[in-house]
Amino acid sequence: MADDRREQLDALLNRRDTLRENVSNVKGRLTAARDSLTEIEGECKKRKVAPDQLDGAIAQLEERFDQEVGTLTQRIETAESSVQPFLEEV
């Protein structure tokens, strides 16, 4: 009977210790996440983009990228067409 109680107590103490470790790990991860957030917000401000408007800024950049790629594609196609007659054998 006393052995069962001792085993039960030991099991509970192990669970408590594991829980303490888990809480400590979670606190560490939370601190790291907060530090990362602060760093990212600083980068956003440095680039003059409000952190809460990041989605809009990304959408604008994607749209501009697509436009520039389209323009570049057209220019390359035009240049290829212009050079093609000179590459054909006479």
Q: Provide the residue-wise pLDDT of the chain in tens; the chain has 90 residues.
A: 678 999 999 999 999 999 999 999 999 999 999 999 999 999 988 988 888 888 898 999 999 999 999 999 999 999 999 998 888 875
Within this chain, do residues 36 and 59 fall inside the same structural domain, yes or no?
A: no
Q: Give pLDDT, residue 90.
A: 57
Instruction: Report the number of distinct structural domains present in the chain.
Output: 2
The answer to whether 87 and 80 are in contact (CB under 8 A) is: no
Nearest of 30, 33, 50 to residue 42 by alpha carbon: 50
Cα–Cα distance measured from residue 73 to residue 90, given in angstroms and rounded to the nearest whole number: 29
Cα–Cα distance measured from residue 37 to residue 71, given in angstroms and rounded to the nearest whole number: 36
Residue the block writes with tokens 């917000």: 41
Within this chain, do residues 58 and 80 fall inside the same structural domain, yes or no?
A: yes
Within this chain, do residues 40 and 25 fall inside the same structural domain, yes or no?
A: yes
Within this chain, do residues 64 and 28 fall inside the same structural domain, yes or no?
A: no
Q: Which domain holds residue 72?
A: 52-90
Query: Model's pTM, two decimal places?
Result: 0.55
